[in-house]
């Protein structure tokens, strides 16, 4: 059971981040702020990319903290 939980440890967060990006960067949502003007679309995209980068940073730090010493030694070899 522990092996299964270690296998799926960070996968739900990565899947959620992927699906959120897929839907938030899709055509229907991008067409809504473009009707208001260019600055709204640019600020929407900037804030969205900022949230995606922060989410990836948080996810990668958690995954790096979950590595065992053996896995870290293998990565540096």
The DSSP letter of residue 35 is T
The DSSP letter of residue 25 is T
Of the chain, the end-to-end C-alpha distance in Å amounts to: 30
Rounded CA separation 77/74 (Å): 5
Summarised one tens digit per residue, pLDDT across range 29-65 is 777 766 666 787 788 889 989 999 998 888 888 877 7
Residue-level pLDDT at 50: 94
Helix (H, G, I), strand (E, B) or coil at 43: helix
- The model carries a pTM of 0.63
């Amino acid at each position: 059971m522990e092996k299964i939980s270690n296998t799926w440890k960070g996968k739900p967060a990565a899947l959620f981040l992927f699906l959120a990006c897929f839907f938030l960067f899709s055509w229907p949502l991008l067409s809504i702020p473009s009707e208001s003007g260019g600055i709204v679309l640019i600020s929407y995209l900037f804030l969205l990319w900022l949230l995606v980068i922060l989410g990836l940073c948080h996810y990668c730090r958690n995954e790096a903290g979950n590595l065992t010493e053996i896995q870290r030694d293998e990565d540096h070899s």
